[in-house]
A and B are shown apart, each in its own frame.
Chain A
Amino acid sequence: MTRAKDLLLRATNPTATVFVLLVLVFAAVFAMNPGFFQGPSLMAFLKQAAPLVILAAGQYFVIVSGNFDLSVGALVGAQVVIAARLIDGEESRTAPVLVAMVLFGIGVGLVNGLITTALKVQSFITTLGMLLVLYGAIRLWTGGAPTGSLSESFRVFGRMGIEDVPVLGQIPWALLIMIAVGAGSVLLMRTRFGRVLMAAGDNERAAALSGARVGAARTLAFVLSGLSATIAGVLIGGFAGVSAQVGDGLEFTVITAVVLGGVVLGGGRGSVLAAMAGALVIEALFTLFNQMALPATLRPAVQGAIIIAAVAYAARRRPVPTATATPTPS
């Protein structure tokens, strides 16, 4: 009896649901285009999906601790533009510029985190402000259109991979980086930091009274999000090149992905793998739209519908929250 109930609860658990969805969307893609699952095209798909998946991991840390990070799209854009302007086609500048980008990503995360935790500004406002500041500052700096260009060695991460692998063709660096980020995130959530972050997202007061440094943990989550945006920026820049629109609207896509992964807004719930799987579902869905020849302009509307449906679903299946629903066995 309890086992059957457990199974039912587990299958309809939002965290598990996203993996079911992933299988369904992939099945639909396969039905439309059986060739999709050949090595090279699958690898191409994963290469393209990697930045969003990595952003989802970063956003997960922020959301699970009870905040939002709306600034990631603008940060991705800023990083690409900064890279192009500073490298300006010079191979020798690649490494120092990468270091500068990492520091900038950490800096933006720190500012987001400190304003939110020390000044007690709601993260929605903090990061919305950061989005606008980054957006405006970059346009001011570049005079409206991005200048300079990326070096070849910079573009390797987003474009290249281990070549000439049997069956698969190319194993993209982006995929390997994505796997590393995923593994690192899973491990991080198992550390004391991860546990404190989760507890703080669930009940800030209880965590603080247990001695947790809630503010520090949340700030670190923003830093991780800034780092994920930096990595995503490197990959997207390498893959797609430089333009003024890079990163536009990515914050909403990534939040949709994390919510689809069953990570409850407000914090304290959900797994990082499910959040990353949510990003894969969205990318697969966009692929499906391409195959169905639906216009790309439909995407925002679909994202909006998904985000509402996912939250509504999570709210509906939450079991009866009274203590009476589970009588104490004796």
Chain B
Amino acid sequence: MSATAPLLAMRGIDKAFLGVPVLSSVDLTVARGEVHALVGENGAGKSTLMKILAGVHTADAGTIELDGRAVSFTHPLQAQHAGVASVFQEFNLLPELTVAENVHLGREPKRRGLIDRRAMVDATAAVLADLGVEDLAPTAKVGSLSVAHQQITEIAKALSQGAGLVCMDEPTAALADAEVELLYRLVGRLRERGTAVLYVSHRLKEIFDLCDRITVLKDGRLVDTTATADTTPDDLVAKMVGRRIEAQFPAPLPGTAPGEVRLKVAGGGNDWVDGIDLEVRAGEIVGLAGLQGSGRTEIAEAVFGIAPFTRGAVEVDGRPVRITGPRKAIGAGIALVTEDRKAQGLALRQSVRANARMVLDANARVHSRRRLARVSGILSSLDLVARGEDQEVRFLSGGNQQKVVVAKWLAAEPGVIVLDEPTRGIDVGAKHKLYSVVRDLAAEGLAVLLIASELIEVIGLADRIVVLHDGRIAGELPGGATEQQVMAYATGRAPE
């Protein structure tokens, strides 16, 4: 081991898929015990670079050195053996096995030819203790764990294999707020014990909280590597998108005041939420804030009829409606942009056009020739970037996929639109576009209900913020409230 060489040095990495260059001469160095952020818009090449490092893809040109030794991976196992561990968004864990069994999968300690369970559990407990994790039992079944604990299991597995470098791809994307805290501590602990972390994320706050240095990629090229202390979030965004985004959130148009009440919930409740009184007016963006499990998504699902309210009354445009399922909700003029666009929003192997007209095709009540004719216009007004309307949506970037989801709902000309985590996992440029789309929709007279776990988003975009705690409304704040105020209600404390 040479003390001067960096832990990882990738130089001049080129990669093309089907002749389309995705990376060109990218350099990346990571020091021991460093937390290094890799950022860029979707399609910038971050994931490809990470997959080359993980042995999933092989670079067309360039060199990789680990501990000063040249390496070349053609298989993920080679990368693992060389000490590079990757925690992707989809876990490689077996849900029916325990934490200890997963950590030692394929390398089970043996005694007289049989698996030594006690040794396996003890070794796992030792790794978890080293990570400072106390509330995870090595004997727990992985399938029953929270996402955060599965992530920890994945990291524990990496460390028990002697990983010197842990790559994390959007590790907080699926975490609840309280779990993010846990991840922060975990990353801190990895740094202390000299393990390097390569951290891929869209969330600037995390990057500035956690990372020592930041590498920015744009269109497959290296823009810059800087120390976190020498840059600001605005600078970073400017580097990622290649232009400066003046104001992150569009302000309401001057002179527009909220109109009539379009969505009204009075005393709404079911098994998950209770006592929900909510009004959203035409032209208004109401943000729903709260910790994971506070009932944000449950309210969206109740309003849209996925898990309907069993108590209380719902009115749309002053008319009482009984929403017993999505078809009823759509008929009443309600749209829901779901949290998980791949699982719930899109038919990935169908074309942009087929997806964009799906709501019209599926509902005789909203289907019309005039609305079908508007679909192309809606797609282009959202600045959709695709090869054409017949391109399959699975080939689009996350941001463009989300635009297709939004388009399919706008095609039905709803009066109320519920957006559940509309910017999850999409790049900065697309986020900015979505923010202004949401603001424009409100300006056109829609009632918008916005759910986002990133507080900054709710605060910056909403005219009013309804904060939930434990399935009930804990308080209401004006747009532009501070994070502290929101968190006070969200955690069940009275604001001071």
What is the 8 Å Cβ interface bit string for chain A, positions 185-227, against chain B (1 contact, 0 not)?
0000000100110110011011111111100000000000000
Interface 9-residue window, one of B266-274, B392-400, B454-462 = B392-400
Ranked nearest first, the 8 interchain pairs of A and B with the lowest CB-CB distance are A212-B362, A202-B347, A328-B43, A211-B363, A211-B330, A203-B347, A195-B361, A325-B17
Which A residues lie within 8 Å of B41 (CB)? 328
- Does B228 belong to the interface (CB within 8 Å)? no
- Number of B interface residues in the complex (CB < 8 A): 50
B408-A210 in contact (CB<8A): yes
- Does B387 belong to the interface (CB within 8 Å)? yes
Roughly how many angstroms separate A211 CA and B327 CA in the complex, as a whole number?
5
- Does A92 belong to the interface (CB within 8 Å)? no
Which A residues lie within 8 Å of B304 (CB)? 209
In residues 1-21 of chain A, which contact B (Cβ within 8 Å)?
1-2, 5
B358-A207 in contact (CB<8A): yes
Beyond A203-B343, A268-B350, 12 additional pairs, beta carbon < 8 A:
A5-B18, A192-B362, A195-B358, A199-B354, A202-B350, A207-B358, A210-B363, A321-B394, A324-B48, A325-B20, A327-B43, A328-B396
- Does A297 belong to the interface (CB within 8 Å)? no
- Does B344 belong to the interface (CB within 8 Å)? yes
Contact of B362 among A210, A269, A319 (CB under 8 A): A210
B: residues with CB less than 8 A from A are: 17-20, 22, 41-43, 45, 47-48, 51, 219-220, 304, 306, 326-327, 330-331, 336, 338, 343-350, 354-355, 357-359, 361-364, 366-367, 385, 387, 394-398, 400, 408
Contact of A211 among B51, B326, B346, B396 (CB under 8 A): B326
In residues 296-330 of chain A, which contact B (Cβ within 8 Å)?
319-330
Assuming the contacts A210-B359, A210-B362, A328-B42, asked whether A323 and B347 have C-beta atoms less than 8 A apart, the reply is: no
In residues 264-307 of chain A, which contact B (Cβ within 8 Å)?
268-269
Roughly how many angstroms separate A324 CA and B387 CA in the complex, as a whole number?
15
Contact of A323 among B42, B219, B331, B354 (CB under 8 A): B42
Q: Which residue of chain A lies nearest to B427 when distances are taken between CB atoms in the complex?
A: A328
In residues 222-278 of chain A, which contact B (Cβ within 8 Å)?
268-269
Roughly how many angstroms separate A263 CA and B347 CA in the complex, as a whole number?
16
Assuming the contacts A206-B344, A324-B17, asked whether A269 and B349 have C-beta atoms less than 8 A apart, the reply is: yes
Roughly how many angstroms separate A329 CA and B394 CA in the complex, as a whole number?
15
Assuming the contacts A195-B361, A213-B327, asked whether A325 and B346 have C-beta atoms less than 8 A apart, the reply is: no
A203-B346 in contact (CB<8A): yes
A326-B20 in contact (CB<8A): yes
Which B residues lie within 8 Å of A198 (CB)? 347, 350, 354
Contact of B18 among A203, A209, A325 (CB under 8 A): A325
Contacts between the two chains (Cβ within 8 Å), count: 123
Q: Which residue of chain B lies nearest to A264 when distances are taken between CB atoms in the complex?
A: B349
Roughly how many angstroms separate A5 CA and B395 CA in the complex, as a whole number?
15
Q: Which residue of chain B lies nearest to A203 when distances are taken between CB atoms in the complex?
A: B347
Roughly how many angstroms separate A213 CA and B327 CA in the complex, as a whole number?
8
8 CB < 8 A contacts A-B:
A2-B387, A192-B362, A198-B347, A206-B343, A207-B362, A210-B363, A210-B408, A322-B48
Which B residues lie within 8 Å of A325 (CB)? 17-18, 20, 22, 395
A: residues with CB less than 8 A from B are: 1-2, 5, 192, 195-196, 198-199, 202-203, 205-213, 268-269, 319-330
A327-B220 in contact (CB<8A): yes
Q: Which residue of chain A lies nearest to B341 when distances are taken between CB atoms in the complex?
A: A206
Closest Cβ–Cβ distance, residue A65 to chain B (whole Å): 12
A328-B362 in contact (CB<8A): no
Roughly how many angstroms separate A330 CA and B47 CA in the complex, as a whole number?
18
Q: Which residue of chain A lies nearest to B343 when distances are taken between CB atoms in the complex?
A: A205
Roughly how many angstroms separate A208 CA and B330 CA in the complex, as a whole number?
11
Which A residues lie within 8 Å of B361 (CB)? 192, 195-196, 199, 212
Contact of A209 among B17, B51, B336, B349 (CB under 8 A): B336
Which A residues lie within 8 Å of B326 (CB)? 208-211
Closest Cβ–Cβ distance, residue A203 to chain B (whole Å): 4
B363-A209 in contact (CB<8A): no
Closest Cβ–Cβ distance, residue B55 to chain A (whole Å): 15
Closest Cβ–Cβ distance, residue B271 to chain A (whole Å): 20
Roughly how many angstroms separate A204 CA and B306 CA in the complex, as a whole number?
14
Roughly how many angstroms separate A323 CA and B45 CA in the complex, as a whole number?
10
Roughly how many angstroms separate A330 CA and B45 CA in the complex, as a whole number?
14
Roughly how many angstroms separate A76 CA and B336 CA in the complex, as a whole number?
45
Assuming the contacts A199-B354, A210-B358, asked whether A328 and B400 have C-beta atoms less than 8 A apart, the reply is: yes
Roughly how many angstroms separate A2 CA and B395 CA in the complex, as a whole number?
14
Roughly how many angstroms separate A202 CA and B362 CA in the complex, as a whole number?
14
Closest Cβ–Cβ distance, residue A17 to chain B (whole Å): 17
Which B residues lie within 8 Å of A202 (CB)? 347-350
Closest Cβ–Cβ distance, residue B64 to chain A (whole Å): 18
A328-B397 in contact (CB<8A): yes
Roughly how many angstroms separate A119 CA and B363 CA in the complex, as a whole number?
24
Roughly how many angstroms separate A198 CA and B349 CA in the complex, as a whole number?
10
Assuming the contacts A203-B348, A211-B363, A323-B42, asked whether A330 and B17 have C-beta atoms less than 8 A apart, the reply is: no
Roughly how many angstroms separate A325 CA and B338 CA in the complex, as a whole number?
26
Roughly how many angstroms separate A325 CA and B343 CA in the complex, as a whole number?
21
Closest Cβ–Cβ distance, residue B282 to chain A (whole Å): 23
Which B residues lie within 8 Å of A323 (CB)? 42-43, 47, 395-398
Which B residues lie within 8 Å of A328 (CB)? 41-43, 385, 396-397, 400
B344-A205 in contact (CB<8A): yes
Contact of B20 among A205, A208, A269, A327 (CB under 8 A): A327
Roughly how many angstroms separate A313 CA and B51 CA in the complex, as a whole number?
26
B354-A195 in contact (CB<8A): yes
Roughly how many angstroms separate A165 CA and B130 CA in the complex, as a whole number?
88
Roughly how many angstroms separate A196 CA and B408 CA in the complex, as a whole number?
14
Assuming the contacts A198-B350, A206-B346, A212-B358, asked whether A5 and B22 have C-beta atoms less than 8 A apart, the reply is: no
Contact of B45 among A192, A207, A324 (CB under 8 A): A324
Q: Which residue of chain B lies nearest to A1 when distances are taken between CB atoms in the complex?
A: B19
A324-B349 in contact (CB<8A): no
Roughly how many angstroms separate A110 CA and B271 CA in the complex, as a whole number?
35
Which A residues lie within 8 Å of B387 (CB)? 2
Q: Which residue of chain B lies nearest to A326 when distances are taken between CB atoms in the complex?
A: B395
Which B residues lie within 8 Å of A206 (CB)? 343-347, 358
Closest Cβ–Cβ distance, residue B309 to chain A (whole Å): 18
Closest Cβ–Cβ distance, residue B435 to chain A (whole Å): 19
Which B residues lie within 8 Å of A330 (CB)? 219, 385
